[in-house]
Amino acid sequence: MALIEIRNLHASVDGKEILKGIDLVIEPGQAHAIMGPNGAGKSTLSNVIAGRPGYEVTQGSVTYLGKDLLALEPEARACEGIFLAFQYPVEIPGVATTTFLKTALNAHRKYRGEGELDAMQFLKLVREKTRALGIGDDKLRRPLNVGFSGGEKKRNEVLQMSMLEPRLALLDETDSGLDIDALKVVAEGVNALRSPERSFLIITHYQRLLDYIVPDFVHVLADGRIARSGGKELALELESRGYAEFTGAAA
Amino acid sequence: MDTLPFIDRHAEALARLGGPGWIADLRRTGLERYRALGLPTQRDEAWKYTSLSALKKIAFAPAFLAAAPSFDGLPALGGSMAGEACRFVMVNGRFAPALSSLGDLPPGIGVSSLAAMMRDEPDALEALVARLYPAEGQPLANLNAAYLDDGVVIRIAAGASLGKPVHVVSLCGAGLAPLMCHPRLLIVAEAGSTAAVVESRLGFGGGSTLCNVVTDVVVEDEATLGHYVLQKGSDDNRLLSSTRVDVRAGGLYESFALHVGGVLARNEVQVLLGAERAECRVNGAYAVSGSQHLDNTIRIDHAVPRTTSRQTFKGVLDDRGRGVFQGGILVRRNAQQTDGQQMHKALLLSRGAEVDCKPELEIYADDVKCGHGATAGELDEDAMFFLRARGLDPETARGLLIEAFLDDVIEQIGNLTVREVFKGVVAEWLTRRKVAIKETRGTP
């Protein structure tokens, strides 16, 4: 069974149609990249899958592990294994990163009917994950993302992903605002999470990220539709030729 | 019968109250002034957003004229706070020795019942008479004086340093008949002393109460006083609080009022910075829901050069809750190099909630640094979605964001013990709120 099956998906924001019929199937273990010009609807697609309020699906279906995903609240989608890594992770003053991680992890466990982790179990798990990502204990004690650099925020997103162990990770412009060193660290973190059960949808404007997180498939999204699909070599072709032919076709 | 509320049984009450002759004079003066001033109305600028007219319809009897309310849970309610130095409990304005725990006070700290002092140490009390007379123009403080009966006198001797806070618990509750009480608090922090006082204002029982408390504070030269108030009444409790603070040279008065319950509450705080380097921080946080109404009215009088004041308040308003903030800063003509700042931030959780914010800056000096700010907003949608996308249900997410909103002002509480206790109160309020929401949703 496909992990996620998107059929003829149309979606609007503030009454304006952004997605105009998307078809996409992702099998377990696959990494798909969505590329395309600004305004093509790339981020809209990830937000619709994650269930962001204000993104209205007007037509089509999204089936996730055989279930109607669109009928689920965002928190249920998260607990079912969908993880959206945000382009702009939110800062939450007054809530320590560990407190937040524990709350999120226990929400997932509760959803699955498992007991909450006690403080020791949680600490052991979080230590293990942070060490792998090179995140210091001081960051964990600090309020979530407050005063973090762009790279630290994205690394924090990867930490959350590794704690919550999703089936489908949506990386929304994860490379934006990162220098090359930060990008490498984040990419390594993502690559460590690749497995035959876990799938990725990588949304990016630039090919650069795909040098580090190598996709199985690349799709070009233009004017709310997938204009072309191919293997990873398509990304290189786009890098050299740009999106002109797609924006032209859309106009 | 008197047309003014709250004094129709005053003569009867007076006959029951003892004390030296000068106390009787004080009560008479209070009554005369209250009669002359009348109850504040919304035509008074200081009461623009808070109406007392609903109170007039309730026949509040002086608590000491009614049968003492019995409530089995009282000892638990007056229970200890983690880290307190001592506990002074009042029930409807009168000292309750059986619920209190005053043993082992460190040297230099005196905590006494006002009624006991009237009886046993009238001379020591008469030395404080100037502090017992309320300001002439204050109707409620004068009403309190008219009924002057009991309360607490806290004296911190010069140079004394008290790490653990003195805990004053004021319990208000009534049976079927509505009751009122008029407790008086007097705190004197003598020169060079350091201390913290926590007042817990709690409600019990199911009847209507009105507590009209007056607090007088003196912070002498180079003394530091932390004054922390927790208001956790029920929807039967109404609280009118007038606090007058006098900060002397190099003294610091730091206060924090945390309000999480009570159908009507008014916190009026007037601070006189009457000597150089005097400083005050008058902060607070509140949560109102249902039809609760909370009014914080602050007035800082920068009377001389080089004084500093800060006012920071944050409120969370749900349902039809209403918050009022009137922040006054008066800088007198010669008060050069005054530094006075105020800020009020409100988080509105429902369409029916309302916040009224009125900064009042009166500046007559020209070399000053004064500022004010106010914001009112809803929960950040992006943050809500972020938390939900991590698996948190909307109520848990909201709770986390409310806690985050209140966090920075609570972090300003100087006394670490009190800060932790108050954080716990906020967390408990959030849990109760979540349970209440679940129950409402659960019933068809």
Instruction: Using CB atoms, pick whichever of A53, A90, A104 lies closest to residue B391.
Output: A104
Q: Which of the residues B345, B388, B406, B419 would you substitute to probe the A interface, choosing the one with the greatest number of A C-beta atoms within 10 Å?
A: B388
Whether A55 contacts chain B with CB within 8 A: no
In the DSSP assignment, the letter for residue B3 is S
Predicted confidence at residue B442, as pLDDT, reads 57
Domain range for A208 = 4-250
> Does residue B384 surpass a pLDDT of 90?
yes
DSSP structure class, residue B116:
H
Looking at residue A121, its pLDDT comes to 93
Q: What is the pLDDT of residues B356-373, one digit of tens each?
A: 999 999 999 999 999 999
> What ipTM score was computed for the predicted complex, to two decimals?
0.96
Q: Map tokens 């911190």 to a residue.
A: B156
Interface check for B441 against chain A (CB to CB < 8 A): the answer is no
Q: Which residues on B lie below 8 Å from A93 (Cβ)? A: 404, 407-408
Query: What are B280's strand-pairing partners?
Result: B253, B309
B1 — pLDDT class (breaks 50, 70, 90):
very low
Map out the domains of chain B as residue ranges.
10-379, 380-444
- Tell me the shortest Cα–Cα distance from B397 to chain A, in angstroms: 10
Per-residue model confidence (pLDDT) at position B444 = 40
pLDDT tens per residue, range B308-335: 999 999 999 999 999 999 999 999 999 9
What is chain A written as a DSSP string? --SEEEEEEEEEETTEEEEEEEEEEE-TT-EEEEE--TTSSHHHHHHHHHT-TTEEEEEEEEEETTEEGGGS-HHHHHHTTEEEE-SSPPPEEEEEHHHHHHHHHHHHHHHTTPPPPPHHHHHHHHHHHHHHHT--HHHHHSEETTT--HHHHHHHHHHHHHHH--SEEEEESTTTT--HHHHHHHHHHHHHT-BTTBEEEEE-SSSHHHHHS--SEEEEEETTEEEEEE-THHHHHHHHHTTHHHHHHH-
What pLDDT score was predicted for residue B443?
45
Confidence band for B436, pLDDT divided at 50, 70 and 90: confident
Are the Cβ atoms of A84 and B389 closer than 8 angstroms? Answer: yes
Q: Give me the residue from A73, A93, A103 closest to B408, CB to CB.
A: A93
Binding-face residues of A in 63-122 toward B, CB within 8 A: 73-75, 77-79, 83-84, 86, 88-90, 92-95, 100, 103-104, 107-108, 111
Task: Among A52, A95, A111, select the one facing B400 at the smallest CB separation.
Answer: A95
* Number of domains chain A contains: 1
pLDDT of residue B412: 96
A230-243 mean pLDDT: 90
Q: How far is B380 from chain A (nearest CA, A)?
A: 10
- Long-range contacts, stretch A147-156, CB < 8 angstroms, 24+ apart: A148/A91, A149/A182, A150/A177, A150/A178, A150/A182, A151/A178, A151/A179, A151/A181, A151/A182, A151/A185, A151/A186, A153/A89, A154/A85, A154/A89, A154/A178, A154/A182, A154/A186, A155/A182, A155/A185, A155/A186, A155/A189, A156/A89, A156/A97
Contact yes or no for B386 and A51 at CB 8 A: no
Q: What is the pLDDT of residues B194-237, one digit of tens each?
A: 999 999 999 887 889 999 999 999 999 999 999 999 999 888 99
pLDDT tens digits along B151-200 = 999 999 999 999 899 999 999 998 889 999 999 999 999 999 999 999 99
CA distances from residue A169 to A60, A82, B339 in whole angstroms, order as listed: 22, 6, 52
- Please give, rounded to a whole number of angstroms, the shortest distance from the CA of A54 to a CA of chain B: 10
CB spacing of B391 vs A160 below 8 angstroms: no
